[in-house]
Chain A
Amino acid sequence: MEKQKVDFNAITGIVVILLGIIYTIMSYSLPKAAIGNEMDPLYFPLGLGILLTVIGLILFLKSDKAAIKVALNSMMTKSPKDKEVTRMVVLTCIAAVLYGLLFEHLGFIIATFGFMMSILFITNGKKYVVNTAVAIIFSVSIFAIFNYALGIPLPGLPFL
């Protein structure tokens, strides 16, 4: 329950201000248009950047600055459950990036089988029989549906 009381507003405000400033600077340094008004493609992004900075500033000014310390503390010290969740999220992201890197080389079926196995391992643990069955059925049936029924080509098996 304690978790609910942590107030991230001040920190959010700071992050949003930074985001706004970076975006504004990047907008300003965009190449100028060759035809028409050279600033034309810049106005809209510039406006967005400035507005975001202002709103971030308002959020920061209205927020309870004493909460920064508490919020930072809560980010540092985590309950074991939170650590577990963070670990699962990080592992999922790593698996997804590997999936992307291998997708076009191994083809859909093999890459997806590997990806599903790793995700199921993260969530379902070491129940290899169930995991393997789900991963095989998923990758083969989705491949069949997309490739043959819908006519959306997915990369097939390598070396074929």
Chain B
Amino acid sequence: MLKQWKRLKERITPTDIVMWVIGGAILALIIWGSTATIAAGRYSSHHWFDFVIFGLAQGSIYALIAMGYTLVYGVLRMINFAHSEIFMSGPYTAYFVAAAFYRSGFLDQHPLISLLVIFLVAMIISSGIAFLLERIAYRPLRTAPRLIPLITAIGASFFLQYVFRGLYGSGFQAYPVVKIFEGEWTFGEFRILRFQAVVILAAALLLAALYSFIQRTRVGKAIRAVSEDKEASYMMGIDVDRMISTTFVIGGMAAGAAGVLYALMFKQVHFFMGFIPGIKAFTAAVLGGIGNIPGAMLGGIFLGLIESVGPSLFLDGLGIVAPYQLKDAIAFSMLVLVLIFRPTGILGERLAVKKA
């Protein structure tokens, strides 16, 4: 008994204790805040339902962007910092298509066809940018130490932001409103804003398509092989360079589609629009365990939900004024909390420990 205790004591370092105390304190605060909020009863079930739906919509967009981060991380072990600009480029370019459709009235007559075209344009542009980015900036750096591609990516991110600013201008452009998605659908006593439902549905479809593409097809299999072991897959006859390009293109397509969804939801585009969702999606990818595809989806949805529900649920009860301002702080605290207990993310693999 004493011996076991001694062994346990040896295994637990003081830092572990500090970490548990920090983690425990955050958890206690969360639980206390939530019970206080619920006891106070300031929000009805309708409010909570709205929060959850908004969180899901936002989270599924994060999940789509996070796929790009996680796929690229898988094959190259690098943070593609410029992914947020890939995300921005598609919908920003597609805006001009959308605006033209809107002016000619085509958008209202054939909303589905127009949306399809808008999506296509955005996805093509985003994946094109991603392809060029890999070709020009990242390919020569395959063997460089880790930090160098990161700096390149940061540089590329600045460059792309300001190229698009130069091309399209620095103002906010209001995305045209699709009439059939205005208003709300009611289910019994709950009502959903239509465009939020559309965003969730579309994102879910895209995620499912993407996931089955990675899991089922030959190309998907090859991409997974490359992310397991580049050399071995090269010896198995896989064209590694091509697979890496393909990965960027797929990630770019997901980002472009996510961008249009984002534009539909927030109804505007801007050359700097990628920065915040980009960082959030990257956070989501890490939260789920970077390099892990289901992890990125899970992380994205988790983060979106926490951001939407968290401020009211955790902080309102503690008597904090304007809790909504702290939503990002909550998101990042959650990240730190998860990483304290699982240093490689929710679904993190051993790979993260070994390689990173």
Q: Are A and B subunits of one complex?
A: no
**Chain B interface (Cβ < 8 Å from any Cβ of A):** none
**Chain A interface (Cβ < 8 Å from any Cβ of B):** none
